[in-house]
Structure 1
Amino acid sequence: MAGKPRHGTATLVAVAVVLGWLVVGAVAGPYAGKLGDVATNDNAAFLPTDAEATRAQDLAAGFVKEPTTPALVVYERTSGITAADRQQAAADAAEFARVPGVVGPLPPPIPSEDGQALQVVVPIDDSAGERISEVVDELRRIAGNGSGGLTVNVAGPAGLLADLIEVFTAIDGTLLVVTLVVVLVILLIVYRSPVLWIAPLLAAGMSFALAAVFVYLLADAGVVKLNGQAQGILTVLVFGAGTDYALLLIARYREELHRHDRPPAAMRAAWRGAAPAIVASGGTTIASLLCLLLSSLNSNRALGPVAAIGIAATLLVMLTFLPALLVLGGRWAFWPRVPHPDRADPQTEHRLWTRIADFVARRARPVWLVTAVALAVLALGLTQLGATTLGQSDLFTTRTDSVAGQEVIARHYPGGTGSPATIFTRQQTAQQVAEVARGVPGVAAVRPVTGDTAGPPDPAAPPRVVDGRIELEATLADPPDSDAAERTIRDLREAVHRVPGADAVVGGFTAINVDTSDAATRDQNVIIPVVLAVIALILALLLRALLAPLLLILTVLLSYAATLGLCALVFRYLFDFPGVDASFPLFAFVFLVALGIDYNIFLMSRVRQESVRRGTRPGVRHGLVVTGGVITSAGVVLAATFSALAVLPLVVLVELGVAVAVGVLIDTIVVRSLLVPALAHDLGPRIWWPGRLSRAPQPEERPTDAR
């Protein structure tokens, strides 16, 4: 009878925990839908302060009363612009100037040399911020779509930004709903229970709500700069990782229910067995994500703490709220597959994984050699990844209005019209710098900025001088978001920097892209080694060995290379994507390694527990039997949740979602099920070198455990 009061007390504690979390959820829930209110999607704001494009922006502020972002309204008639078309464009321009947020008066429409297009440059006040999309929407309403053979599009940096903002506003609703549906379907398949899915899904939702509160408050206070990309990743990361942790705890709980008469006792045993691995997994992921704080790009630095907050909130909820829910549900939460206290052998419940473990034990060396070679072959696809970055017309999976407009501009105007490179130089060297700039291949025209901004440029007007500097505008021959334009900017910078005493600074839309790409390359070279060192240290402390962490890191790197190799082929030949975003390799690495190492931890922490009791090789076999199913299920859940990013019409998020989904599946099905256990079994006790376990006496092995 002494156990009954303890059982009653445990139930009361569980009720109190659940009620407390429900109160927290009621307060935090509304913030999950408000993250878009504090998101910023201006790429220039994320540049490092020492970037040349950033310095150019600072200098540009002195040459204008109001910093602006141009929208380019382009009218096209392939049979030739008519007088009526010119009248419509002029009337539209007059109406554009009256739109709040537009800095007028506007210059007259610019005709193309071939006579098939007109272009109106509409500068929009930068202080509009996220409201720039509302201004662009009004421009599109005024201009219409055209008729009678005339087409009208709104493009340029402002048009692109407006389309991006429109996409990111869908994250709060569309992505969350898709992620919930995906997780629900997989949980129903995994548990085959009409009840059990409720607990992990409710806990994952609570984790997201808790994370949203802290992210919202930090972004609102200006501590972090949240953007739409980080917002989308936060959603899938919390639900994916949260469901993974739930699967691990529930699997251990089910196992312990076969050994204990009362659910609270079973949960205590399950918590003691699973919590260290879950905490180590979450801690490793948090540490890896926080390495993004070393990034020179503000957008990457923001993603690190935002995602780390999501994982921390998930850990807290999954180790408190979820256990309390499961205790209250008791055994019948698993109905119709109710676990009874029959001391059942786990191998009777894991027949498939018993056969796989026996196969790995019998053929350990051939298994790890073949899988390693297969992954290395996939890694050869990296040669197809290429160095091509995504331009404006490549950002979206659909053909947006800004993309259509940019295509029109490219057909009829020098590519950089409406979005010129800006050159700031000393007044004394301005003429020399202009001549040097005109001589750079890819530069179509160079002119000084005068004080008169209304009407067409007057060649006779004197240039405007601010603090002894003059601003020059260099129109590029190629579209401002193209690889050719970026090469021109690099050549232009090299040329004007050589002018003695000019102290020339080159900025503009294309320069921002160049500096962002350079910063991304620098971040990869700095952050990737730091992440590997942090993970190796955590694994060494967890496994109390040095050889095992080193080998696990190598398997993760091999899995990462194989994933990128396979994805390179998929992106190029299946999806027909022209390239990858500059941040893709780093983001893919951080998420694949940080999340992939989770499965190493889940497997090897259990293998070590079993090795202490059974010996290393039997411990490897038993660890694979009892964790194989749950790790595979967790991998499928995480892969499915990240693949939900594909519902957003942005190539960069589709690429990241596909890469993480493919990488996690490779990790769970190949690396964690075959490569790692086969390698550990082949090495035997040496895997724990130099720890004490590597020298511990080994029990006599059964035939299935022999190499």
Structure 2
Amino acid sequence: MPGGRRGKWLVLATWLIAVMAFGALAGKLGEVQDTSANAFLPRGAESALVNTELEKFRTDELAPAVVVYSTEGTLDDRVRSEVEADRAAFAKVAAQGEQVSPAVESKDRKALMVVVPLLNDEQAEVADRIEELRGIADAQAPPGLDTQVGGPAASIADAFTVFGHLDGTLMMATGFIVVVLLLLTYRSPVLWLFPALAVAFASVLTQAGTYLFAKYAGLQVDPQSSGVLMVLVFGVGTDYALLLIARYREELHRLEDRHEAMKAALRRSGSAILASAGTVAVGLACLGFADINSSRSMGLVGVIGVAFGFLAMVTILPALLVIAGRWVFWPLVPRHGAAPRASRPIWERVGKSVAARPRRSWIASLAATGALALCALGLDMGLSQTDWFQTKPESVVAQEKLSAHFPSGAADPATIIVKTADADEATRAAQGTKGVVEVTTAARTADGELTQLAAVLAGEPDSEAAKSTVEALREKIDGPVGGTAAQALDKETATARDLKVVVPLVLLVVLLVLVWLLKSLVAPLVLLATVVVSYFAALGASNLIFENVMGYPGVDWTIPLLGFVFLVALGIDYNIFLMHRVKEEAAVHGHDRGVLIGLSSTGGVITSAGLVLAATFAVFAGLPLVAMAQMGFVVCIGILIDTFLVRTVLVPALALDIGPRFWAPGALSKELAAREPKASARAEERELENV
């Protein structure tokens, strides 16, 4: 037992040994991260197959960098001479044995384009080469000439710059926010250290465990899932700590022995924490059935984080608290036999207000969430390549320049892999496809079996026109079609499929967990429905912010699915915390009284937990990647709606309006109905009055 006289020392020793043994592996997580294009593509997609097939064409994979020179006026000989001088310098940076392309002039005579083939090895190396190219292009540029380096290689370099320090930035920002909120919650200069230390223990083993699973069990980890992992551990770990410490404080007032108080706290809150962690873990595990690799990675990696977060909060945290003693709560030390500090008046007033007119309360709150949900109807799905970053990096600016002066797909053509025997026929078919500007033979495998064709598309690489062209090419050509436009199409198709598969699965498994915990069917269905309402309200509210405040042109395709899974899994937590306490109190005090006591008892801790979790996800809003910022907004807003409206008003009002039947068909429903005939009669009278 973590809170026992001997168990506390055994738990502490076990965690210290584990952290010392596996701590070195935590720093190696970056070594197993998959940063390839396929990490963010659907499994089995044609575009992913093309990326795999391209490895057969050359031992050293190449990534082209595209240098764009543009001016408001007409190009003159001085500019052309400068570009030729730059080409000679670019040759020293290009991959060995590869030629820098001649400068291609745009039809409007306002831009020149030079393609430099770079070795695509380590991302840090690619980033260094791109910086070298940018330095060469900028060094001698005459006044009035703009130079940008873009193309796939520059996109890799800019992404590396974004992701390179992502884990550290997220961990520091999240840790700072959690510490500040814990200080405000506990108003103690000491107590906050204990949940923070437990989270630190959990984060070390989480990173080490994720590394081992990735290294030896084939778990895919990408920079995005790695970043979310730490935020998730901090968020859910702190939530569970708040719930346990609140219950421990109550038991310290009731029991003199702190060991017995911790045992009682674990016994009474343990099942709720277990159900909460199980719900989040199982909900995230459902993402394992997604087709998009990054979504699947985020779900499975998240399960590891939740598991270690839960384990730390029910083992090392109780051990540390019991070892330290009551003084950790200073200056508000709970004394045995003393009345608990009055901290519930606001929640008692809320409960009484809801209980006075429960039906009006839940109808009003449902109307408010419904109004927000309606704002999601105008959601514009999809982000173009130029909209991926909150502040446009140079690679995006270069793509915009290319689209303004050249065929939009010139710098990033579609890639077609065919058998060499069919290459001529495939070339003719591609040339005859609407939306294709030019088709060239890019390479052949060493054995001559396969040929790589490059098809320049008229539309921008991830535009609807380019996607339509890719669909037409796939219908005409017997071979996989890849490239940026194909990847965008495959992501869009896979996202629609994942929503249809994963969403019902998440709802089913969460429902089963609630049925197991509450031994009821009506209550789980009601709770699950309220969380779904909260999700759509969050999506609508986020859409208002995206359009009117942030100015985002659309929403990334992954947001509806990831937002749903995170909000349903995390949002149901607070309903579990609330209803587990309500059920406990209802068995003693009756249904209506149990609802009010449960609300007033858990109001403060659940509000604090909601603020902590919302704040941790709000960290994403400051990241340069629009998709991660959008996910942070949706989850943050959803948790706040769930904390302050759904759990505070909607759920208690529904529980009061339904009455003891809320626990049907479980034994508690029958017991309350038999024990509270007058309460049942009052509920029927209230129902008639409402009608």
Over residues 479-535 of structure 1, what are the superposed CA-to-partner deviations in whole Å (9 max), with x where a residue is unaligned? 2133332233223334x15xxxxx243222211221122112211111111111110
Answering whether residue 284 of structure 2 is matched by residue 286 of structure 1, we say no
**Structure 2: how far apart are the matches of 1:357 and 1:525?**
38
Picking from 397, 403, 419, the partner of 1:410 is: 403
Picking from 447, 458, 475, the partner of 2:456 is: 475
**Per-residue deviation, 1:449:** 4.0
Q: Percent identity?
A: 44
**Structure 2: how far apart are the matches of 1:466 and 1:572?**
51
Q: 1:676 to 1:509 in 2, by over 3 A?
A: same
Mapped contact 1:564–1:659 kept (Cα < 8 A): yes
**Per-residue deviation, 1:335:** 1.3
Mapped contact 1:28–1:210 kept (Cα < 8 A): yes
**Structure 1: how far apart are the matches of 2:503 and 2:189?**
43
**Per-residue deviation, 1:668:** 0.7
**Per-residue deviation, 1:11:** 4.6
Over residues 219-267 of structure 1, what are the superposed CA-to-partner deviations in whole Å (9 max), with x where a residue is unaligned? 3347122111111111111101111000000111111111011221111
Aligned to 1:607: 582
**Structure 1: how far apart are the matches of 2:206 and 2:598?**
33
Over residues 395-451 of structure 1, what are the superposed CA-to-partner deviations in whole Å (9 max), with x where a residue is unaligned? 111121111111211111111012111234566765555454344443222334477
Q: 1:43-58 alignment to 2 at 5 Å?
A: 43-58=37-52
Answering whether residue 560 of structure 2 is matched by residue 565 of structure 1, we say no
**Structure 2: how far apart are the matches of 1:398 and 1:29?**
36
**Per-residue deviation, 1:66:** 4.2
Q: Which moved more, 1:360-369 or 1:278-287?
A: 360-369
**Structure 2: how far apart are the matches of 1:304 and 1:670?**
27
Picking from 438, 451, 471, the partner of 1:445 is: 438
Q: 1:102 to 1:45 in 2, by over 3 A?
A: farther
Q: 1:86 to 1:300 in 2, by over 3 A?
A: same
**Per-residue deviation, 1:217:** 2.2
**Per-residue deviation, 1:17:** 2.8
Q: 1:248-267 alignment to 2 at 5 Å?
A: 248-267=243-262
Picking from 50, 62, 72, the partner of 2:66 is: 72
**Per-residue deviation, 1:343:** 5.5
**Structure 2: how far apart are the matches of 1:698 and 1:158?**
73
Aligned residue type for 1:47: L
Over residues 41-78 of structure 1, what are the superposed CA-to-partner deviations in whole Å (9 max), with x where a residue is unaligned? 22234434532223333444455564322221212232
Aligned to 1:577: 552
**Per-residue deviation, 1:213:** 0.5
**Structure 2: how far apart are the matches of 1:17 and 1:512?**
49
Aligned residue type for 1:661: C
Over residues 126-182 of structure 1, what are the superposed CA-to-partner deviations in whole Å (9 max), with x where a residue is unaligned? 444564323323333333364522222111122112111111112232211111111
Mapped contact 2:70–2:147 kept (Cα < 8 A): yes
Q: 1:489 to 1:100 in 2, by over 3 A?
A: closer
Q: 1:335 to 1:57 in 2, by over 3 A?
A: closer
Answering whether residue 239 of structure 2 is matched by residue 244 of structure 1, we say yes
Mapped contact 1:175–1:644 kept (Cα < 8 A): yes
Mapped contact 1:381–1:569 kept (Cα < 8 A): yes
Aligned residue type for 1:489: V
Q: Which moved more, 1:377-386 or 1:663-672?
A: 377-386
Aligned to 1:302: 297
Answering whether residue 148 of structure 2 is matched by residue 150 of structure 1, we say no
Picking from 412, 422, 439, the partner of 1:419 is: 412
Q: 1:127 to 1:221 in 2, by over 3 A?
A: farther
Picking from 164, 167, 170, the partner of 1:172 is: 167
Aligned residue type for 1:693: L
**Per-residue deviation, 1:279:** 0.8
Answering whether residue 106 of structure 2 is matched by residue 112 of structure 1, we say yes
Picking from 125, 138, 146, the partner of 2:119 is: 125
Picking from 670, 673, 681, the partner of 2:645 is: 670
Q: Which moved more, 1:329-338 or 1:435-444?
A: 435-444
**Per-residue deviation, 1:699:** 4.4
Mapped contact 2:427–2:439 kept (Cα < 8 A): yes
Q: 1:184 to 1:449 in 2, by over 3 A?
A: closer
Q: Which moved more, 1:155-164 or 1:69-78?
A: 69-78
Aligned to 2:271: 276
Aligned residue type for 2:466: A
**Structure 1: how far apart are the matches of 2:239 and 2:59?**
53
Mapped contact 1:449–1:464 kept (Cα < 8 A): no
**Structure 2: how far apart are the matches of 1:563 and 1:414?**
40
SS at match of 1:390: coil
Picking from 387, 395, 402, the partner of 2:388 is: 395
Compute the TM-score of the two structures, normalised by the length of structure 2: 0.93
SS at match of 2:69: strand
**Structure 1: how far apart are the matches of 2:157 and 2:70?**
21
Aligned to 1:81: 75
**Structure 1: how far apart are the matches of 2:131 and 2:427?**
37
SS at match of 2:675: coil
Q: 1:464 to 1:169 in 2, by over 3 A?
A: closer
Answering whether residue 553 of structure 2 is matched by residue 586 of structure 1, we say no
**Per-residue deviation, 1:121:** 1.3
Mapped contact 1:75–1:151 kept (Cα < 8 A): yes
Q: 1:368-517 alignment to 2 at 5 Å?
A: 368-387=362-381, 389-425=382-418, 433-449=426-442, 466-467=448-449, 470-494=451-475, 496=476, 503-517=478-492
Aligned to 2:605: 630
Aligned residue type for 2:397: A
Q: 1:40 to 1:103 in 2, by over 3 A?
A: farther
**Structure 2: how far apart are the matches of 1:110 and 1:645?**
41
Mapped contact 2:43–2:293 kept (Cα < 8 A): no
**Structure 2: how far apart are the matches of 1:207 and 1:549?**
30
SS at match of 1:258: helix
**Structure 1: how far apart are the matches of 2:133 and 2:216?**
32
**Structure 2: how far apart are the matches of 1:337 and 1:62?**
68
Q: Which moved more, 1:542-551 or 1:102-111?
A: 102-111
Aligned to 1:695: 670
Aligned to 1:455: none
Mapped contact 1:390–1:580 kept (Cα < 8 A): yes
Q: 1:130-145 alignment to 2 at 5 Å?
A: 131-144=125-138
**Structure 2: how far apart are the matches of 1:149 and 1:78?**
7
Aligned residue type for 1:413: F
**Structure 2: how far apart are the matches of 1:219 and 1:92?**
43
**Structure 2: how far apart are the matches of 1:648 and 1:92?**
35
SS at match of 2:264: helix
Q: 1:128 to 1:87 in 2, by over 3 A?
A: farther
Mapped contact 1:360–1:677 kept (Cα < 8 A): yes
Over residues 8-35 of structure 1, what are the superposed CA-to-partner deviations in whole Å (9 max), with x where a residue is unaligned? x945543443344234334444544443
Q: 1:432 to 1:12 in 2, by over 3 A?
A: closer
**Per-residue deviation, 1:372:** 1.1
Picking from 213, 219, 235, the partner of 2:208 is: 213
Aligned residue type for 1:599: Y
Q: Which moved more, 1:653-662 or 1:140-149?
A: 140-149
Q: 1:174 to 1:328 in 2, by over 3 A?
A: same
Over residues 280-318 of structure 1, what are the superposed CA-to-partner deviations in whole Å (9 max), with x where a residue is unaligned? 100111111111111122222222221110000001110
Aligned residue type for 2:367: V
Q: 1:134 to 1:601 in 2, by over 3 A?
A: same
Report the number of matched residues. 680
Q: Which moved more, 1:348-357 or 1:568-577?
A: 348-357
**Structure 2: how far apart are the matches of 1:487 and 1:568?**
27
Answering whether residue 531 of structure 2 is matched by residue 526 of structure 1, we say no
Mapped contact 1:616–1:698 kept (Cα < 8 A): no
Aligned to 1:362: 356
**Per-residue deviation, 1:698:** 3.1
Q: 1:640 to 1:701 in 2, by over 3 A?
A: farther
Over residues 555-575 of structure 1, what are the superposed CA-to-partner deviations in whole Å (9 max), with x where a residue is unaligned? 111111111111111111111
